[in-house]
Amino acid sequence: MDKKTLREPSIKALSLIADPETLKHIVPFLMDPSKIIQEEALRAIERFYRKGVSEEFITGEIKRLIGDNVLDILITHAWSQKTDVRISAILILGLMKDERAYNPLLEISQDENFKEDVTKALVFIGKDRPESLLKLFDTESLYQKRFICEVAGRIISPVYYTTFEKLLEDEDGHIRSLAAIAISKIGDIKAVKPIKKLLSDPYEDVQEAAVNALSNLRSGLSVAELTGILEDTNPALRKNAALLLGEIGAAEAVPALGFALKDSDIEVRKAVIKAFSNLKTEESISFLILALTDEEPDIRALSALSLGYIGGSGTFDALHLLLSDSDDYVRVAASKALGILKDARAVGPLIRILSDKNGFVVTTAIESLSKIGGEKARAALLQILSSEDKEIIRTAIKALSSFDNVEEELLPFLKDDDWATRMAAVEVLIKIAKATTRKKLEELLDTEEDPIVKKAVQEGLGV
């Protein structure tokens, strides 16, 4: 293969076959005088790996045929202007497991487009020698410290326990969050005590990380202790204790959580609702129904949505009453929840709120009627196509896609003066895929001026 024009396609062809025996013919091209040939060799080696050739075999061949010089070659291409070449070089740097690649890879990681590729490469290097990453935590660079936390968190080695424990007290909230999640994955329950301190952290995202971390260490948690925290004077602790009880499935805590529904802090009550949503016991469902009478609209709405997903005895009767709630968002939540339940008894109440003064309530009711289905729902949706509100019309058109024999009512909207309405009609009629609708869509191609609508028609018809 003396000619460059032949070498490039030959290298690619061999990589597509990916016979391990042919790798020895490709690796030397990493040192070819031609940059283009080097790049094709990089792509080829990546293909060998993607097609299942072991990393041990690949790196063994590279070391045998090139030796230590490969590091400089790979680092140079890791800064290539060509994305695919750059990704190949970063991958192979990881496979080589050479600690000398740490610093260049850290620098490359600051380009967000390649951060994930570098992360995987560093995990490759560090998984066999996790202690080799420890020195990288010792830095003044906030970015590097955060990034190494992420990398070490994926490796999940006890080697990092002490480091992560110290980082739980770091001045940077993001690092505290990363350390909490990472140390919990190691699985040592002695981490419970230091992580619990973060339940009252000044930053909510750190508190959230602490809840997630502690849920990973549930065997080291005391339900009785968490239940007691529901009465703490600190609302952040009460909130996070409630969330944690839900995350670990502590059904025995339902009575205490029910009492916490009366908490003076709305965030605590929201956390209790989320806990009940996770627990899904009959008693927790009863408390969720009770929460539908809370004075705060957010609590009523959150409870309604939770009940929609859980279901259970008495849920429909409680939810349909909220369709007349004074708060718009609560009516939206109740309407959505009834659609999730798919209880045919909800069709009548949902049809009645199609005349609601709030457009969002109406569009949500339309979507719920579509989910429930039935002739009454279909008739109501066809009727609302005469609305003067374009958003309501578009929502109804899309909702009718789940019903049969609606094409005749939808065809006129292909000539609507609103492009978004025409688009909605096109999307639904393409799904129906009948000969009559296809003919009308083909006719639309001759008159449609909006490029977005025209493209949708062309793609739908396959022309």
Average pLDDT over residues 77-101: 96
User: Cα–Cα distance between 33 and 450 in angstroms, integer?
Assistant: 52
**pLDDT tens-digit readout, 263-295:** 999 999 999 999 999 999 999 999 999 999 999
By the 8 A CB rule, do 367 and 361 touch?
Answer: no
Average pLDDT over residues 288-309: 97
At residue 463, the pLDDT reads 80
Average pLDDT over residues 24-50: 95
By the 8 A CB rule, do 274 and 246 touch?
Answer: yes
Helices (H), 280-324: 282-291, 297-310, 315-321
At residue 5, the pLDDT reads 65
| C-alpha dihedral (294, 296, 302, 303), degrees to nearest 10 | 0
Phi, psi torsion values for 415, nearest 5 degrees: -110, 10
Instruction: Tell me what percent of the residues of the chain surpass a pLDDT of 90.
Output: 89
Name the pLDDT band for 395 (thresholds 50, 70, 90): very high
User: Cα–Cα distance between 251 and 340 in angstroms, integer?
Assistant: 25
Q: Name the token pair of 103.
A: 């610093």
| C-alpha dihedral (45, 47, 51, 54), degrees to nearest 10 | 20
Q: Name the token pair of 419.
A: 């492009």
Question: Which uninterrupted H or E stretch holds 166?
Answer: helix 161-167
Q: Burial level of 284, CB count in 10 A (0-12/13-18/19+)?
A: buried
| Dihedral sign, Cα of residue 117, residue 122, residue 128, residue 130 | negative
By the 8 A CB rule, do 168 and 176 touch?
Answer: yes
User: Cα–Cα distance between 38 and 15 in angstroms, integer?
Assistant: 14
**pLDDT tens-digit readout, 172-184:** 999 999 999 999 9
Average pLDDT over residues 300-307: 98
Average pLDDT, the chain: 95
Angle at 449 between CA 448 and CA 454, to 5 degrees: 60
Average pLDDT over residues 106-125: 96
At residue 432, the pLDDT reads 83
By the 8 A CB rule, do 306 and 275 touch?
Answer: no
By the 8 A CB rule, do 444 and 431 touch?
Answer: no
By the 8 A CB rule, do 399 and 366 touch?
Answer: yes
Enumerate domains of the chain plus CATH numbers: 1-128 (no CATH), 282-391 (1.25.10.10), 404-462 (1.25.10)
What is the identity of the amino acid at 410? L
Contacts of 31 (CB under 8 A, 6+ apart): 38, 66, 69, 73
Average pLDDT over residues 83-95: 97
- Asked whether residue 169 carries a pLDDT value surpassing 60, the answer given is yes
In 3-state terms, what secondary structure has residue 344?
A: helix
| C-alpha dihedral (24, 26, 30, 31), degrees to nearest 10 | 70
**pLDDT tens-digit readout, 199-237:** 999 999 999 999 999 999 999 999 999 999 999 999 999
At residue 224, the pLDDT reads 98
- Asked whether residue 436 carries a pLDDT value surpassing 90, the answer given is no
User: Cα–Cα distance between 57 and 45 in angstroms, integer?
Assistant: 11
Tally of CA atoms within 13 A in the half-sphere of 5 that contains its CB: 0
Instruction: Tell me what percent of the residues of the chain surpass a pLDDT of 70.
Output: 99
Is the model more confident about 442 or about 293?
293
At residue 3, the pLDDT reads 56
Angle at 435 between CA 430 and CA 436, to 5 degrees: 90
Locate the DSSP E strands across 78-221: none
Cα 373 to Cα 202, 235, 278, 345, 377: the distances in Å are 48, 44, 28, 11, 6
Average pLDDT over residues 128-134: 95
